[in-house]
Amino acid sequence: MSRSIATRTGDDGTTSLLYGQRVPKAHPQIEAVGAFDELNVAIGAVKPLLGGNEPGTRTHALLTTVQQNLVALMGELACAEADIERFAKSKFAKMAAADVQRLDDAVAALEARGLKFDGWATPGANARAAAFDLARTTARRAERQLSLLPSHGRSVRPELRQFVNRLSDLLWLLAREAEQ
């Protein structure tokens, strides 16, 4: 018999961090993980709108890799401060400088295409551009949640901050490209 998704352990308003520590569902780490989960879904919602791009094309492949990076990021954020060393030694996927560099390279490639934009964007030119802008604003909210963690006693590696900052830039550029 398979296990049910309904464990009922959260009925008391708590949830588990990665290695079992129980925290309130409104705990800053859970808020951050939730924001990145929403970002993962928002990026997934863009992929079917890529038009003529089939799975396996450059943008689709990049977004899929980004989603895998977000899963690794969420795993790290779901770990209590006391368990960071344990997480670092674990087999779980982890964010690295190469993940940030991949986004830097994608941003540079988009900028090299000479995208035209002037000041603030007005989202909604088409469904794909709007979906990228929604993902971008979700990334910025996740970034704000991530930035709150140190004030609550949870350290954040620089690569995590850099990744989400570059990701929101990339999503902004992809939205502008979709408009054109």
Domain locations along the chain: 14-113+120-179
Reply yes or no on whether the pLDDT at 77 is more than 70.
yes
User: What's the pLDDT tens digit per position in 127-151?
Assistant: 999 999 999 999 999 999 999 999 9
φ, ψ of residue 154 in degrees (nearest 5): -110, 115
Query: Is residue 77 within 8 Å of residue 29, measured between CB atoms?
Result: yes
Reply yes or no on whether the pLDDT at 163 is more than 70.
yes
Give the model's pLDDT for residue 15.
85
Q: What is the pairing mode between strands 22-24 and 14-16?
A: antiparallel
Give the model's pLDDT for residue 53.
52
- Which pLDDT band, with edges at 50, 70 and 90, does 174 fall under? very high
Reply yes or no on whether the pLDDT at 11 is more than 80.
no
Domain 14-113+120-179 has CATH 1.20.1250.20: no
Give the model's pLDDT for residue 169.
96
Higher pLDDT residue, 18 or 55?
Answer: 18
Reply yes or no on whether the pLDDT at 24 is more than 90.
no
Give the model's pLDDT for residue 177.
92
Give the whole-angstrom CA distance, residue 161 versus residue 104: 13
Query: Is residue 142 within 8 Å of residue 32, measured between CB atoms?
Result: yes
Give the model's pLDDT for residue 171.
97
The pTM (predicted TM-score) of the whole model is 0.91
- Taking the CB of residue 66, how many other CB atoms lie within 10 A of it? 22
Give the model's pLDDT for residue 118.
73
Mean pLDDT of the chain: 91
Give the model's pLDDT for residue 102.
98
Give the whole-angstrom CA distance, residue 108 versus residue 91: 32
